[in-house]
Structure 1
Amino acid sequence: MTQVQTSRLTSTAYLLLGVLLIAISLRSPITGVGPLLDLIREQLHLSATQAGMLTTLPLLAFAFFSPLASKLAQKKGLEHALMISLFLLLTGITIRSQGSSISLFTGTLIIGAGIAIANVLLPSLMKRDFPNRVTTITSIYVLMMGVGSALSASLAIPLTHVAESLSIKLIPTWAFSLGSIILFPIIAILIWLPQMRNHTPAAENTSKLDSHSYLWRSPSAWHITLFLALNSFLMYIFISWFPTILVDTGYSHEQAGVIHGLLQLFTAVPAIVLIPIISRIQDKRLLSLGLTLLGMIAVIGLILAPSLAILWAMLFGFGAGGGFILALAFISLRTTDIHQAATLSGMAQCLGYLLAATGPIIMGAIHEYSGSWTPPLILCAVANLLWSIFSLLASRSEKIHKQPKQSFQSI
């Protein structure tokens, strides 16, 4: 192996490591909130609806900043734009950990902006630098997101005990716990620094949303968008409220945090399973439907037999994690070029996260009104049924053409 080849291999390995460390930072700042929600509500006197906003705010930021991410990348380059996203995460986590209501919501919004930029730009970077391994790298990327999520969720309550044992008085114990996750973006920034020597324009990979306006009239584009949207709708409801549901059904806060962490960990398991087989499966409809049905079984099981919450957590995590991988894969597999893929990604993420943003608020409001978790979980079951229907539509094999034969009304 020549010195040039060795240098390129090292550079590629460092780039991939940077991408994976960014991925760890993308969901962990959100999943750590769920296990601490009761403690935060008690100390800051928040209603259930206000508490739901802690998960909703990042999703609104995802929807708002996703279309702006491509403009940032075109102006600054992919590498610099991703560094900006990491600094936004760092800033948001710092502000959120000050311990007041204002800092909590302000920091959460800034965190959402940082995640939104990386959410849009990382798939473009992977499509640019790993064009022949998009599915494999995407699966590993989702795996790392799941690992970060699991660590954040399962360590949330133990970290409050650490704060108590250290007699930390400047900030509440929940703020210390949420602030500890700052290690992820700090490490990612240090690893990403060598990429700052590059200033790669991303115009080819992150085209403007309106440059393929026909996608808004394409039934296939809407099928993929709604498949991702319903996946996110259900996932962020569970990220926000699952620990509280468990506590209200008799689990301790520590047990709820561990089970919530298990759910997050199982969102990563499909990445391991799907890496060797997803590219070999030509017709992905059965796989897609099966993953959504796992989610349906888990939601119904949680209603009927909450004592088996560990099982339902694993099933739901596997189904939701696998569905997310497939949604990202469909964006690449069903588009004809990089421009179209980037546009569909922006459309799906913008609208998908707008729908997902309503989930935690609706869930909290229904629970507050009914005094029970059964009605909101029934809503989740209905949403899961719709998700199953769109899994069959989104996983068709035909490409999205520039002038779709079908009209929007034919969805």
Structure 2
Amino acid sequence: MTTGVRARTAVPGLLLAGVLLVALNLRGPLVAVAPVAGELRSDLAVGAGTVGLLTSIPVLLFGLAAPVASWVIARAGTHRAVLLAMLGVLAGTVLRSVGDARTALAGTVVLGLAITVGNVVVPVVIGRDFPGATNVVTAAYTAALNVGATLTTTLTAPVADVVGWRWALAAWGLLVGLACLVWTAGLRRQAARADGSAGPPPPAGPVRPVWRQPAVWGLTVAFAAQAFSYYGVTAWLPTLLADEQGLSRSTAGVSSALFQVFAVAGAFAVPALVRWWRRPAAVLLAVTAAWAFLPVGLLTAPGLWPVWCSVAGVAQGGGITVVFIAIVARSRDLVENRRTSAMVQGGGYAVAATGPLVVGSVHDLTGGWTVPMLLVLGAIVVMAVAGGLSAGGRQQEERARG
């Protein structure tokens, strides 16, 4: 009996490595275009708007295609869906790197659809295969999302200087291939470990439609506000600092690095706080308070921008982590987990896709950055209210202790 408990609670190391490698490929391809945007525009003879589509289309698909992703996962199963997602990322990465602008856009659509499947299925896998360490693995997963974005942002341009932008973008397919190999090996070992076990638990009672659950709607609104703030700030923070502080574009770009790097700290701090406080809603409120440092700080003491960017980086890494923890903890079984994940991420990313456009448009209309920052602050307040009312509850508190 003791051996069976240990088998169920031990963390499968190879599968964990697969999860982290998959996570590296769920954001990196999106930001890989930005460092080589100039070369891409020149070679494909397209305008800035077309280049913008190469980064905005996937985020829009994260929202619109989430129900399709949920259907794919239900048909293929969680583990196969992860592999399908990685193969789709590989196909999209290669397709985007060859041919003309239409081929690049087609590859971008493939990427967006594949990453959408990955976005929805990985939290389900974590809830299923890491029952004794769900919160910690969720933290590692969300941290790896930011690490992947940082790696591609940092290394794509130097590689392009040597081999050109096409090969530089295509080269990230090697990381996707590695993720596929490790994931497949991890599944084989997991199957061997589970041989003779009773298998996954049956559904916990009748299936509850997630769209009828107020808590799921609250988490959807909270995630939408988090993602809207993240993408809006990511798109315009360097420009804001260049305009308001007179910083060079390269110096202002440091803000993006701080914003991404410190997210790793936030991702790992949240599970510790959940275990300590045993109230995910309280942790979410702490995250939103840290988020508010950015707009309030830039409005009142803009010269301290490195501090505000760092604190907000911690907050944005913690924000997505605490929402994912709440999804897993509030779901009674894998089916509800999958459907909740699809609804929360689908609605959230649909709103997030408008973030850069809305923040930029408000800036153009007002001729300054005060109102856009107040808009971001308003989104953070919405996140605090919706998440504070939805992330807690006795059931979640009990499950979050693990």
TM-score by length of 2: 0.81
Counterparts of 1:146 and 1:18, CA distance in 2: 16
- Residues 130 and 88 (structure 1 numbering): CA distance in 2 closer, same or farther, change over 3 Å? same
Counterpart selection for 1:233 from 228, 235, 238:
228
Counterparts of 1:69 and 1:366, CA distance in 2: 33
> For residues 188-233 of structure 1, what are the alpha-carbon distances to aligned partners after superposition, in whole Å with 9 as ceiling and x for unaligned?
1222232575999xx97999xx9532x3233222111111111111
Report the equivalent of 2:117: 117
Counterpart selection for 1:187 from 178, 185, 199:
178
> For residues 342-397 of structure 1, what are the alpha-carbon distances to aligned partners after superposition, in whole Å with 9 as ceiling and x for unaligned?
22222111111111112122223334445544433332122122122223212322
Report the equivalent of 2:144: 144
Deviation at 1:257, TM superposition (A): 4.0
Contact 2:262/2:314 (8 A) holds in 1: yes
Counterparts of 2:395 and 2:6, CA distance in 1: 38
> For residues 151-201 of structure 1, what are the alpha-carbon distances to aligned partners after superposition, in whole Å with 9 as ceiling and x for unaligned?
223x15xx435533x3x5xx5x5x56544433431221222232575999x
Report the equivalent of 2:196: none
Deviation at 1:293, TM superposition (A): 1.6
TM-score by length of 1: 0.79
Counterparts of 1:365 and 1:53, CA distance in 2: 17
Deviation at 1:101, TM superposition (A): 4.1
Counterparts of 1:206 and 1:267, CA distance in 2: 36
- Residues 347 and 254 (structure 1 numbering): CA distance in 2 closer, same or farther, change over 3 Å? same
Deviation at 1:128, TM superposition (A): 1.8
Deviation at 1:299, TM superposition (A): 1.9
Deviation at 1:11, TM superposition (A): 9.9
Where 2:12 maps in the other structure, the secondary structure is: helix
Counterparts of 2:261 and 2:121, CA distance in 1: 24
Contact 1:79/1:199 (8 A) holds in 2: no
Counterparts of 1:206 and 1:109, CA distance in 2: 36
Counterpart selection for 1:386 from 365, 382, 385:
382
**1:217 and 2:208 are equivalent in the alignment:** no
Structure 1: which amino acid aligns with 2:129? D
Calculate the aligned-residue CA RMSD, in Å.
Answer: 3.6
Counterpart selection for 1:335 from 327, 331, 338:
331
- Residues 390 and 239 (structure 1 numbering): CA distance in 2 closer, same or farther, change over 3 Å? same
Q: Which moved more, 1:260-269 or 1:73-82?
A: 73-82
Structure 1: which amino acid aligns with 2:185? P
Contact 2:121/2:338 (8 A) holds in 1: no
* Paired residues for 1:359-374 under 5 Å: 359-374=355-370
- Residues 35 and 303 (structure 1 numbering): CA distance in 2 closer, same or farther, change over 3 Å? farther
Counterparts of 1:206 and 1:64, CA distance in 2: 30
* Paired residues for 1:101-112 under 5 Å: 101-112=101-112
**1:46 and 2:48 are equivalent in the alignment:** yes
Where 2:277 maps in the other structure, the secondary structure is: coil
> For residues 244-285 of structure 1, what are the alpha-carbon distances to aligned partners after superposition, in whole Å with 9 as ceiling and x for unaligned?
444445444443444312211111112332343422322333
**1:264 and 2:264 are equivalent in the alignment:** no
Counterparts of 1:252 and 1:138, CA distance in 2: 37
- Residues 190 and 284 (structure 1 numbering): CA distance in 2 closer, same or farther, change over 3 Å? closer
- Residues 301 and 276 (structure 1 numbering): CA distance in 2 closer, same or farther, change over 3 Å? closer
Contact 2:36/2:160 (8 A) holds in 1: no
Identity %: 29
Deviation at 1:324, TM superposition (A): 0.9
Counterparts of 1:96 and 1:303, CA distance in 2: 40
Counterparts of 2:189 and 2:64, CA distance in 1: 27
Structure 2: which amino acid aligns with 1:366? V
Deviation at 1:82, TM superposition (A): 1.3
* Paired residues for 1:11-410 under 5 Å: 12-33=12-33, 44-47=46-49, 53-98=53-98, 101-153=101-153, 155=154, 159-164=156-161, 166=162, 168=163, 173=165, 178-195=169-186, 212-213=208-209, 215-249=210-244, 250-399=246-395
> For residues 4-42 of structure 1, what are the alpha-carbon distances to aligned partners after superposition, in whole Å with 9 as ceiling and x for unaligned?
999999992211111110011111222344566677678
> For residues 116-135 of structure 1, what are the alpha-carbon distances to aligned partners after superposition, in whole Å with 9 as ceiling and x for unaligned?
11111112222221122211
Contact 2:97/2:170 (8 A) holds in 1: yes
Contact 1:79/1:195 (8 A) holds in 2: no
Q: Which moved more, 1:176-185 or 1:25-34?
A: 176-185
- Residues 84 and 191 (structure 1 numbering): CA distance in 2 closer, same or farther, change over 3 Å? same
Counterparts of 1:293 and 1:388, CA distance in 2: 8
Contact 2:136/2:268 (8 A) holds in 1: no
Counterparts of 1:283 and 1:306, CA distance in 2: 33
Counterparts of 2:52 and 2:202, CA distance in 1: 32
Unaligned runs of at least 5 residues, structure 2? 192-198, 397-402
Contact 1:332/1:341 (8 A) holds in 2: yes
> For residues 84-127 of structure 1, what are the alpha-carbon distances to aligned partners after superposition, in whole Å with 9 as ceiling and x for unaligned?
21121122222333485434433332221111111111122222
Deviation at 1:51, TM superposition (A): 5.8
Unaligned runs of at least 5 residues, structure 1? 401-411
Counterparts of 1:344 and 1:10, CA distance in 2: 26
Counterparts of 1:63 and 1:205, CA distance in 2: 30
